[in-house]
Structure 1
Amino acid sequence: MSIPKEPRQLMINLMYLVLTALLALNVSNEILNAFKTLSVSIDKSNQSIELKTNEVYQQIIENMNAPGQTEKVRPYKEKADEVVKKSDEMVKYLDQWKRRIVMEAGGYSHTDSTMPDKMDNIDATTLLLVEKKGGDTLRNRILAMREFLLQQINQADTAAMSKSMPLAIKPADKNEHNPKADWNVENFEHMPAIAALALFSKFQNDVRASQQLIINKLFQEAHLKDIKFDTIGAVALPTTSYALEGQKIEASIMLAAFNKANKPEVKLMGGGGSTKPPVNGVVPWETVAKGTGLQTVRGQIVLKTEGEPIIRDWKFEYMVGTTGASMQLDKMNVFYIGVDNPVTVAAAGYSVEDVSLDIPGATVRDSSAKGHFIIRTDNAKTGTKVQVNIKAKTKEGAKTVGTMEVRVKRIPDPVAKVGGSAGGPMEAAKFRIQIAPAALLENFDFDAKFKIIAFQYSALPKGRDIVGPFNTENRAVGCRFTDNANIKKAVESARPGDKIFIENIKAVGPDGQPRTLNSIVLSLY
Structure 2
Amino acid sequence: MAGGKLSPRQRMINLMYLVFIAMLALNMSKEVLSAFGLMTEKLEASNADAAVRNTAFMANLEVKSKEEPAKYEPLVAKANVIKAKGDDLYSFIESLKDEMNKTVDDPKEYEVKDKPDFLDEKFFNAGGLKPDGKKFLSMIEDYRNTVVKTIEGDYPSIAEGVDHKFSTDKVVNKDGVKVDWMNYNYEGYPMVASETKLTQLQADIKSTESEVLSAMLQGQLKMEANMNNFTTIMETPKPAYFASDKFDGSIVLGKTDAKTKPNKVTLTLDGRPLTKGDYEIIDGKVKLNIAAGNTGDHKIEGELLFKRDGEDQIVKVDQGYTVIPMPNSATIAADKMNVVYRGVANPMTVSFAGVDENKVSASAAGHSFTKSGNGYILKPGAGKEVTIKVNGTLPNGTSVSDSKKFRIKDLPKPVGSMFKMVDDVIELPKGSITAGAVEAQFGDDFDFNLPLVVKSFVIAVPGQAPIPVNGSKMSGPAKNAISKAKRGDVIRIIEIKASAPSAPGVKIQKVAPISIEVQ
Bin for the TM-score computed over the shorter chain: 0.3 to 0.5
Q: TM-score, normalising length from structure 2? A: 0.40
Q: TM-score, normalising length from structure 1? A: 0.40
